[in-house]
């Protein structure tokens, strides 16, 4: 992008080279086997990106939303599943701790999360509460010098591998009486429930977090009781922008694969790239991908300049994954029968991207946010 700083331009190359060496060669196998590329994840710690938005004081890179989106795009182009786990760790867990935790909590938890010694996740969704995030029912009850936490979190990325969980709980009767805790697996604060087998993002482990009278010290509470609704909404903005970066990476991967295939596949005596219908499909994919890139990075750049708010994050989250799914479906169509098989990666691209229209807020929730914000005067 024209407004990338020299540091950001160098970061593009750093992430691209890492992705092509450590992620892309193993994407198909991990998708087929439903296994997590733990080795690549640990190497992300060595690369210095697991704490991409965290303060250098704790080992972080001290970068912003634009850089995080660059990482999502470049890693997502190689393997969206691995990138989703990276996002859950670096944005949902590390970024939340960086922004909301006390200095003592940051000193205790961030260094090992940033090196990759520990893996993190975030617990928000529950079996009966997904889109209605502030309706969650996992309860934390104060009992002297500790809390007792009971409940279940669902659809948790990295659940089976996480050492640290940043978890939202209910501590009062009002709907917005939400309180966050940093929970430690080795202290018995949570256990991982059954793994969830998915259509896409199969190389990103997903499961339950179970809390059964978990005894959690007061010092593990983030902020005061009832403060976490604001924390949740604040972090959802950067999550929605950066997860859209994964969709941009998928769209770019589809485009590159289609260009390659159009130059190799022959029908009626010549490569299919000679046919106008194929040219039209590729031209539209390229234009749509470039449109996505400009829109996404413009919003990420605004976020880094302090121009924040739910509206633009929701717009990005609605538009980018939807267009990427269309591009992935077009890529399957262009490949014909091969596109519908597992011989080529475009079917995986489509399966993976569909999650981005659901996770971090469904398309329908994004429409609600956009419409209510724009029509707030009319809805009075």
Residue 301: C-alpha distances to residues 7, 123, 231 (Å): 14, 28, 21
C-alpha span between 139 and 178 (Å, rounded): 9
Closest CA to 286 of 242, 251, 325: 251
Task: Give the distance, in angstroms, between the CA of residue 298 and the centroid of all CA atoms in the same chain.
Answer: 19
Q: Which are the catalytic amino acids? A: 239
């Amino acid at each position: 992008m024209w407004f990338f700083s020299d540091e950001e331009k160098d970061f593009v190359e750093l992430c691209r080279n890492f992705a092509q060496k450590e992620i892309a060669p193993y994407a198909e196998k991990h998708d087929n086997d439903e296994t997590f590329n733990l080795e690549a994840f640990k190497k992300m710690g060595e690369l210095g990106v697991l704490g991409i938005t965290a303060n250098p004081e704790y080992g972080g890179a001290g970068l912003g939303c634009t850089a995080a989106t660059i990482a999502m795009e470049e890693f997502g182009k190689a393997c969206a599943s691995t990138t989703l786990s990276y996002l859950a760790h670096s944005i949902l867990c590390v970024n939340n701790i960086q922004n909301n935790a006390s200095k003592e909590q940051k000193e205790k938890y961030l260094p090992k999360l940033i090196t990759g010694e520990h893996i993190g996740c975030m617990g928000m969704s529950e079996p009966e509460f997904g889109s209605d995030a502030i309706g969650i029912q996992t309860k934390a009850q104060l009992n002297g010098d500790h809390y007792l936490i009971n409940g279940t979190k669902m659809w948790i990325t990295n659940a089976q591998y996480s050492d640290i969980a940043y978890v939202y709980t209910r501590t009062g009767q009002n709907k917005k009486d939400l309180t966050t805790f940093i929970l430690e697996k080795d202290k018995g604060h949570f256990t991982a429930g059954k793994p969830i087998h998915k259509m896409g993002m199969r190389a990103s482990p997903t499961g339950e977090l179970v809390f059964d009278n978990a005894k959690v010290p007061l010092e593990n509470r983030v902020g005061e009781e009832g403060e976490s609704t604001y924390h949740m909404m604040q972090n959802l903005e950067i999550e929605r922008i950066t997860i859209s970066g994964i969709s941009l990476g998928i769209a770019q991967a589809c485009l590159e694969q289609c260009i390659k295939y159009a130059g190799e596949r022959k029908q009626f005596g010549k490569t299919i790239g000679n046919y106008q219908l194929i040219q039209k499909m590729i031209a539209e994919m390229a234009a749509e991908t470039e449109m996505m890139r400009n829109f996404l990075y413009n919003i990420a750049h605004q976020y880094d300049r302090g121009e924040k708010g739910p509206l633009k994050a929701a717009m990005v989250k609605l538009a980018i994954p939807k267009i990427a799914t269309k591009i992935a479906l077009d890529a399957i169509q262009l490949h014909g029968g091969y596109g519908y098989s597992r011989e080529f990666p475009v079917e995986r691209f489509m399966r993976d991207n569909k999650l981005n229209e659901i996770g971090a807020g469904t398309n329908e929730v994004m429409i609600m946010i956009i419409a209510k914000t724009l029509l707030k005067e009319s809805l009075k």
